[in-house]
Structure 1
Amino acid sequence: MANLLFRRDPMSRRSVLRGMGATIALPFLNAMAPTARAAQSQAQAFPVRMGVVFMPNGVHPQRWTPEGAGHDFKLSPILQPLEKHRGDINVLTNLGHHNCREGDGHYAKTANWLTGTPIAKTTGKDLRCGVSMDQFFAREMGHHTRFPSLEMGTEPVMTGVDFNVNYTMLYGSHISWRTPTTPLPPEINPRFVFDRLFRENADQRKASAMENKSVLDLVLSDAKSLRGRVGQEDQQRLDEYLESIRSVEQRIEADIARVAKGDNLDPLAQEELARLDKRIAAAMKDKSDPGGRLRLDHTEHSRLMLDLMTLAFWSDSTRVSSFMFGWAVSSKSFTFLPGVNHSHHENSHHENHADKLEQYQKICTWHVEQFSYLMDRMKSIKEGEGTLLDNTMLLFGSSMRDGNAHDPRNLPLVLAGGGNAGVKTGQHLVAEKDTPMCNLFLSMLQGAGMNVKEFGDSAGVLKGLTA
């Protein structure tokens, strides 16, 4: 602990707890301030983060847009789960991607959702899209953290060709692009993400020592030493942070155990239980996904990933992260929702049939509920006089207005948080028709402190978003 504690000099912002192959970054503590009597604004002491949450297959278009504009608006049926957060959100209307209008199906709208650029039509070779907004941020700011960015999802990367539209399915599995030809695949296993954030390289530890020990147990001695040498407020903040890590870790282990037992699984999956159990064990040991879908409860799977995004930001392990609820043509079953008896993709192609539209609305509302959960988590974490959400610009939405029409105009979008980045919240922001979504990206990048004048096909910042 000698490297962590100083009598006069501040503790490094990147200080960590270590023990037997585990590494846990620390949240911001008062002991990290330049001096005990520093007059520096607390808002300036915390970094700005950027999170992106992607929902596939569009939304029920008549049940998305709020009534009214500005601060005087009424949330739509799908957005009702955000009512308690209305003061922390911007519902954005009339933003879209002109360069995404060409090309059939979902692929030409999903891969470029964060780039605003056209994609090269290909069945596998010569992938080309653009640098995504999150990776543009990571390229400039990623050196401040252990990981430049963190990409997560719930469904594996799809390969092969969709011959209905003659696009490689790789385009539908990625929203983050490090270069125009280098997509970053999302990690779908919460255990792998957790280990990446809080455990060192498997080759540098003894597997037997790690098998049955919590990561917190491994750093316990270091944590106790630190706790005894910081103030009471820092002690409370540290306790809350470590308890959040413990909670996520326990939920991951419980979900793995549930999968092994076969609770609540589709009957067709029962025969695969033994094989699935072996695959999970192999994945834990070899740190590689065997290629099958994880048989996890979709709500808990999604929330684990959103909790991991929260922990990654809180620990300053990264300052930018993306999460995909599903790939572009996700056929994820939502029969766990009352009244839903079709997959997500099938319901999105509703052809204006009332029964499918009703199911489609329920699926869209479920996604908004999970986003509301993420806001709950970030708002529960105090940072100075504000919260983690105040220091995070959190974008949620889909790459199409309506899954039935595949239209990239007037996209369904919500931007939450970001108050300490200059974002004005609590409004339904109605832009001019066909305003480039890249105007939003430019505003977010500038709010995060980047000296950038344009992004994609931006025509300036998004009017009315920032102070």
Structure 2
Amino acid sequence: MLGTAGTALTIPLLPSLLPRELRAAPGDRPIRLAVVYTPNGQHPATWLPTGSETTFQMSPVLAPLEAHRAKLNVIHGLVGTSGHEAGHSECLTGRPLTDPSHMPSAGPSLDQLLAKGHASEVALESLQLGVDTGNTAFSIISYSDVKLGLPPQGSARGGFERVAGVVNVDPAAAEVRRAQSRSVLDSIMQDHASIRPHLSANERVLLDAHFDLVRAQELRLAEPLEPIVCEHLPTEVNDLDIPSTFLGHIDTIAAAFACDVTRVATLVMGGSGYYAHYEWAGVNADFHECAHGTASDSLERFTQANTWHAQMFAALLDRLDSIPDGDGTTLLDNTIVLWTNELGLHEFGHSKSNMGIVLAGGAAGYFSTGRFIDLAGAAHYHDLLLTIAHAAGRTDLATFGDEGKQVIERLRSA
């Protein structure tokens, strides 16, 4: 957020009645990316599977993923990120923060890099969704190329409406809403001109980047509307409680991918250092305190909360795997689904080493799945980001982030 003289500027949740410029050809299956971020790390005693690479038993936390074991990899032994305060900003950028603003040292984040590559082919470049994230920098994992943070939409209804705004819409009603949207954008652009002189040089860079986003939206709203007809849009989502918001976002992501409204989505639970009581999961204790071992029965409660995270991740895999994607494949087969964190496996500390990751989906055959892979410190988390970029088609990238310098060959299909 930028502020001066009592004026606050945040990135608005702009209406999404945007034209569909291109449609995927029949049989053409693009690679999608979905990222699920949960906070505060994992405890090795309850997260690590047992057994060998191909014959392993899921741990208590990962047990909800058993039905999808053939289409995922459990990975540990990655050198980690920068921990709580910096971990969220480094999560997809590979660049730790360098100042108190909680922004990475450089952008863009991986999701935004990939989103830009198909911006002309979809109605929405990307979706940023969140559950109980609040208005805080600690919940942001997506950043533009000039480090402009893209806050997650914390309402399931709000996320749904972004997608519903371009799917199965009545053209006349849509045009009315597009006219309203253009009016809102005009007002935002006027605010830009009045606020800019009062900002510092660094703030002007961010504001100008925001202005560029607004201008791009305005240009697309000026183009003829081509609504998308798709059968996969859910009839309703709601925000009755934390689980319903999470599940509503899952339905929206699956529909957005199935209808090719977007090919990139992130879903943030809470944010780094999340302090909530997971009462909906039977945990009547501060999750952050459980992560530090300072609550009563910390390990049991920490395990319960993270098992609930796994249940939500499994629900996303269920939805993606239930939707056909041509030639006997499903959306999950042609998607990269990353479950990540700002901390590594730790015994009630802030360890950023030995990160535990679940990477699901085959990326149209790029990944060899069904394995428990111990990298034993031979690869950095940033190497994983580079590998995902290659799996999504960006094989031109030789590096990513500060430490991403190699594709992790053990993850690839032979």
2:287 is matched with: 344
**Residues 128 and 180 of structure 1 are in contact (CA less than 8 Å); yes or no, is this contact kept in structure 2?**
no
Aligned residue pairs total 342
Q: 2:88 aligns with which of 105, 110, 114?
A: 110
The answer as to whether partners of 2:118 and 2:125 remain within 8 angstroms in 1 is yes
Structure 1: stretches of 5+ with no match in the other structure? 1-20, 34-41, 160-169, 208-221, 227-237, 256-295
Please name the residue that 1:424 is paired with: 368
2:390 to 446, 450, 454: 446
- Please tell me whether residue 89 in structure 1 is matched to residue 72 in structure 2: yes
What amino acid is the match of 2:400?
F
Q: Kindly indicate whether the alpha-carbon contact (under 8 Å) linking 1:112 and 1:130 is maintained by their aligned counterparts in 2.
A: no
Within 1, Cα distance between the matches of 2:385 and 2:104? 23
Match of 2:178 among 190, 204, 219: 204
Q: Percent identity?
A: 30
1:327-406 matches, within 5 Å, as: 327-338=271-282, 340-351=283-294, 355-384=297-326, 385-401=328-344, 402=346, 404-406=348-350
**Aligned-pair distance for 1:28?**
8.2
2:409 paired residue number? 463
Deviations 1:178-214 (A, max 9, x none): 125211111112222222212257743799xxxxxxx
In the superposition, relative to structure 1, how do residues 125 and 315 fare at CA in structure 2: closer, same or farther (>3 Å)?
Answer: closer
Instruction: Give me the whole-angstrom Cα distance separating, in 1, the residues matched to 2:378 and 2:321.
Output: 32
When residues 425 and 354 of structure 1 are mapped into structure 2, their CA distance, relative to the original with a 3 A threshold, is farther
**Cα displacement (A) at 1:126:** 7.7
Deviations 1:338-360 (A, max 9, x none): 3x211322221214x77111000
1:464 partner SS? helix
Deviation, 1:158, is 3.7
Q: Secondary structure at the match of 2:36?
A: strand
Structure 1 pair 80–156 and aligned structure 2 pair: CA distance change class (3 A): closer
Change (3 A) 1:25 1:344: farther
Per-residue CA shift, 1:113-163, capped at 9, x if unaligned?
1122221131x498745321111212223332111111110134444xxxx
Letter in 2 for 1:118: P
TM-score normalized by structure 1? Answer: 0.67
Whichever of the two has the greater Rg, that structure is: 1
Tell me, in whole angstroms, the C-alpha distance in 2 between the residues paired with 1:370 and 1:397.
13
- Give the deviation of 1:175 after TM superposition: 0.7
Which residue pairs with 2:36 in the alignment? 53
Find the aligned partners of 1:27 and 1:364 in 2 and give their Cα distance: 40
Q: TM-score scaled to structure 2, two decimals? A: 0.75
C-alpha distance after superposition, 1:244-285 (max 9, x if no partner): 42xx33233xx5xxxxxxxxxxxxxxxxxxxxxxxxxxxxxx
CA 1:49–1:297: 2 relative to 1, 3 Å? same
Q: Which consecutive unaligned segments of at least 5 residues does structure 2 have?
A: 1-15, 166-173, 182-225
Question: Is structure 2 residue 120 aligned with structure 1 residue 143?
Answer: yes
The whole-number CA distance in structure 1 between the counterparts of 2:251 and 2:21 is 16
For the structure 1 residues 108 and 125, does the alpha-carbon distance in structure 2 shift closer, same or farther, using more than 3 Å as the test?
closer
SS at 2:377's partner residue? strand
Q: Return the alpha-carbon distance in structure 1 between the equivalents of residues 19 and 46 of structure 2.
A: 43
Partner of 1:276: none
Matches within 5 A, 1:9-408: 32-33=25-26, 42=27, 45-97=28-80, 100-101=81-82, 106-122=84-100, 124=101, 128-159=105-136, 170=137, 172-199=138-165, 200=174, 203-204=177-178, 242=231, 244-245=232-233, 248-252=234-238, 255=239, 296-338=240-282, 340-351=283-294, 355-384=297-326, 385-401=328-344, 402=346, 404-408=348-352
Q: Residues of 1 paired with 2:310 and 2:338: CA distance?
A: 12
